[in-house]
Amino acid sequence: MKKIKVDALVVGAGFAGLYMLLRLRDKGLTIQVLEAGGDVGGTWYWNRYPGARCDVASVEYCYSFSKELQEEFKWPERYSAQPDILKYIEHTTEKFELRKNILFNTKVTDAIYQEDTQLWHVKTNTGQCYETRYFIMATGCLSVPKMPKFKGIDSFEGEFYHTGKWPHHKVTFDGKQVAVIGIGSSGVQVIPEIAKTAKHLTVLQRGPTYCIPGKNYPLDDTYLQDIYRRYDDIRHKAKTGSRGVGLTDVKGTGKSIKEFSREEAFKMMAEIIEHGKGTLGSLFTDVKSDPEADQIVREFLYEMIDRIVEDSQTANLLKPDYPLLSKRYSLGFEYLETYNRDNVTLADVLTDPIKEITPKGVKTEHKEYTFDMIVCATGFDGMTGAISRVHIVGKNSERLKDKWASGPRAYLGLMSHGYPNMFTITGPGSPSILANAVMSIEQHVEWIDNCIEYLDRNEIKAFEPKLDEEDKWVQHVTDIVKPFFISKGNSWYLGANIPGKPRVFMPYPGGLGTYTEICNEIAKNGYQTFLQKRSYVYE
């Protein structure tokens, strides 16, 4: 079959793929972007369920590379909804004329490295074949929905949806008996929306989740003009700070929660929530790791649940029994309040587990429910899901799947030893989703772009991390996360939500600013931690 030759092949047309395309195209490289979806947007193309929004402030959850773009798109809300985020991505695509380099409805199936030519051969599900020097996975951290494997799932006769693959047609809940399975960030967002119009909503909860009430509000021109004036400073703070945000990163107390009286600590936490500024995790130094400190925060949150949720049995069911910061908690908008509605029931499927899906609904050990619709908000095969679904073969015919069988091994989350010239944007071992994802993406794209410029300038044909440097990085990620609850949580950060997936903490927990400094230093020193091959020998 005839191969289409390009300089770089990028997989994915979300925030990451689009910016990568723009940077490389501006260098004069020939680029092909391949996208499985029918249009641009990535996560924001697929996750179009009612209530979907980003809980990072919109004025920060957007590109910073163009001042003009930054100031011409009017974000309507503090936490704008999915249709507005998608509109922003489409607007960016049109503005920079990116669409012509993207092939939609096309999945990459195979990517095989050719050691003789130092090129990647890439195949798609539509039968196309490409030959490329640079193979770049911009497939996102949460792009493979996790469908629960209940017995009888295909027999259900009603409507069946996953939040992460929501249909394009209008879905109505009016007059319907609806079930939601899953109460992570997606469930917390979709539940209040369904409850508004469903005849009855039953939330099938396995483990409860921490949900902090969020403060959303419309943004007016005065607010936006003020942001535009301060943007340079906000972005600087975002890029040098740990979480990729410059606006809401309020200074913590720098003290243990135990240095305050219970009343003082509760008051400070209530204020943080009331004003929607900052996070409970950054208010005190020890909430991330000290069980006693965590217990104080938990008691505060339990009191909050008791205050909001009228039925005490439901309130008790909504109280998680694990440390707050052992998992990602959600920002909720009328989530807890939804359980006060007459048409909403919380069912505990931890003590009464789901046995099977029947043609008419759900059977648990002790009950049988009838539903017109089941909505799964059951999460994703995070970080490695999309990468491991491509048959990637590197040097010595090694499959990436085999190399990563006991957990992903990558250097800086950017490259993996044995896979020259293959880059991953927000890959495992990078801050990615532990920071504002758009800032993580910009940092990666710019680093890759500069790296490619260096490779081309120096006529380096093959470039990959040294194995010992990769090993050290993987160990470093494991070591720095160890003291914190997050290293042991039952979360997708560790692959704990996917049966059989190795439990390895995947994102880099040291903060975006620190990570950026490390990456920049490596580049400044001539990429000495990488093997660099000009002709047939590594230097």
CB of 183 to ligand NAP, least distance (A): 4
Nearest distance, CB of residue 134 and ligand NAP, angstroms: 28
Q: Which is nearer to ligand NAP, 163 or 424 (CB)?
A: 163
C-beta of residue 202 within 8 angstroms of C-beta of residue 348 = no
Tell me the C-alpha to C-alpha distance, in Å, between residue 441 and each of 2, 187, 235, 459, 478: 33, 25, 14, 26, 22
Pick the binder of ligand NAP from 29, 62, 179, 181 (CB under 6 A).
181
> In what helix (H) or strand (E) does residue 240 lie, and over which residues does it extend?
helix 221-240
Span of 85-93, 100-108, 180-188, 454-462 interacting with ligand NAP by CB under 6 A = 180-188
Taking a C-beta distance cutoff of 8 angstroms, is the pair 151, 133 a contact? no
Compare residues 183 and 257 and give the one whose CB is closer to ligand NAP.
183
Tokens read off for 239:
């890029």
Please tell me whether residue 486 binds ligand NAP under the rule CB under 6 A: no
- Select the residue interacting with ligand NAP from 29, 31, 183, 386 (CB under 6 A): 183
Question: Which of 82, 92, 186, 436 is in the footprint of ligand NAP by CB under 6 A?
Answer: 186
Is 55 among the residues that bind ligand NAP (CB under 6 A)? Answer: yes
DSSP conformation class of 2: P
Rounded distance between C-alpha atoms, residue 22 and residue 45, angstroms: 19
- Interface positions, 187-226, toward ligand NAP (CB under 6 A): 187, 189, 206-207, 209
Nearest-approach distance from CB 436 to ligand NAP, in angstroms: 10
In whole angstroms, the minimum distance from the beta carbon of 529 to ligand NAP comes to 29
Binding test (CB under 6 A) with ligand NAP, winner from 165, 258, 328, 476:
328
Kindly identify the residues of this chain, within the stretch 369-388, that bind ligand NAP according to CB under 6 A: 377-380
Q: Which of 119, 138, 142, 387 binds ligand NAP (CB under 6 A)?
A: 142
The contacts of residue 529 (CB under 8 Å, 6+ apart) are: 411, 465, 466, 469, 522
Q: Which of these, 354, 413, 374, 312, lies nearest to 187 by C-alpha position?
A: 374
How many positions of this chain bind ligand NAP (CB under 6 A)? 25
Closer of 382 and 420 to ligand NAP (Cβ) = 382
> Binding of ligand NAP at residue 185 (CB under 6 A)?
yes
| Contact code string over 6-45 relative to ligand NAP, x by CB under 6 A | ----------------------------------------
Cβ contact 385:140 at 8 Å = no
Please identify, among the stretches 182-190, 392-400, 459-467, 505-513, the one whose residues bind ligand NAP according to the rule CB under 6 A. Answer: 182-190
Residue 445 contacts residue 23 (beta carbons within 8 Å): yes
Residue nearest to ligand NAP (CB): 184
> Quick one: CA torsion of 423, 427, 429, 435, rounded to 10 degrees?
130
Question: Exposure string (b/e) for 70-80, b if CB count within 10 Å is 16 or more?
Answer: beebebeebbb
Q: Is 443 in the site for ligand NAP (CB under 6 A)?
A: no
Calpha distance 75→57 (Å, rounded): 10
Length of the chain: 539
Binders of ligand NAP among residues 405 to 434 (CB under 6 A) are 433
CB of 189 to ligand NAP, least distance (A): 6
Return all residues near 256 (Cβ < 8 A) that are at least 6 apart: 284, 285, 286, 290, 293
Binding residues (CB under 6 A) for ligand NAP: these are: 54-55, 142, 148, 181-187, 189, 206-207, 209, 328, 349, 354, 377-380, 433, 492, 497
